[in-house]
Amino acid sequence: MDSLMERVIALQDATPVFIALFDTNDRLRHANRAFREAFNLASDAFPMWGDILRANYVDRKGLIITTTDYEAWFLSAQSRRGKLPFRGLELDLHDGRWIWMTETVQDDGWMLCVGSDITALRQNQRSLRQDRDIAQRAAQTDELTGTANRRFVFANLDAQMEKVQKGAEGPFGLCVIDIDFFKAINDRFGHQGGDTVLRDFVKIAHSTIRRADCFGRVGGEEFMLIMPRTALADCAGMVERLLEKVRASCPFPGATDFSYSCSAGLSLYQPGETASDLYQRADRALYAAKQNGRARVEWL
């Protein structure tokens, strides 16, 4: 067995195909030589996915990231990563190569990334495919906050329901979150101030949730969080941590007296429920949180 593994590792380092494995926390756990060279990684480095991209952006090596606002770009990319069992995407590298990368997510949340060099494709094909990818990202992203939009989140909910109903995964949690007294925020700071609070909340949420979780804006100041393979107590704990971070946030440096809060309604999938049933139950729990004083999470 040891000799077989040694042969597999040697072949991985010899192949021009990019191979990498990330754990549930999105830390690199294994990468072959081709992947490390493409993303400018030392042989003994095992960073987080976000740190790889940030270093590429700052050093202008590895992956080309075309943006004037890295944080907003990363938040948008993070909102889609690892939310589907399989997806493919195209990447441009600073050395001129064009890569087709696939992401395969196991049931336990680990992700296998495999990439191939497709630079030889004709330029007109490349332009068409890039235009398609831009349109697809726009269709899945909330324009104001950069997080996933209603369409993407509800599609993820349907996919999660299907996996559970087929027995491929255990129960999951659904949380509906609403920013408290949002109209008063708009009245005090104007709509631009309200937009700042929405973006602040999204940034906090993405710093709190796991890669496997799906989070997005479903309308106005309302957001939805899907937590796969998670017991009710763990779901509640995660949401409590999120609400605590929000209460401690200061989105307006010139208004240190200002703080805001969120209310949340949580429900755990029950056999036989439809997506609509589950969402409505979480929405009723949100209403209970509002009635019981806000800035809290309730579950039904």
Catalytic residues: 221
Asked if 295 and 263 touch (Cβ cutoff 8 Å), the reply is: yes
CATH architecture of 150-299: 2-Layer Sandwich (3.30)
- pLDDT value at position 85? 83
pLDDT at 133: 67
For range 230-256, the mean pLDDT: 93
DSSP sequence for 166-217: TTSS---EEEEEEETTHHHHHHHHHHHHHHHHHHHHHHHHHHHS-TT-EEEE
CA dihedral 153, 157, 162, 164 (to 10 degrees): 130
Identify which of 172, 171, 173 has the alpha carbon closest to the alpha carbon of residue 239.
173
From-to residues of CATH 3.30.70.270 in the chain: 150-299
Q: Is the pLDDT of residue 130 over 80?
A: no
Kindly state the average pLDDT of the residues 146-159: 91
**By percentage, how much of the chain surpasses pLDDT 70?**
93
Section 178-196 average pLDDT: 94
Is the model's pLDDT at 136 over the cut of 80? no
Q: CATH for 2-140?
A: 3.30.450.20
Q: What are the pLDDT digits (tens) for 64-102?
A: 998 988 988 898 888 888 888 888 888 999 999 989 999
The better pLDDT of the pair 254, 30 is held by 30
**pLDDT at position 121, please?**
75
* C-beta separation of 236 from 299 below 8 A: yes
Residues of the chain with CATH 3.30.450.20: 2-140
**Is 0.85 topped by the overall pTM?**
no
Residue 135: pLDDT above 70?
Answer: no
| 233 pLDDT above the threshold of 60 | yes
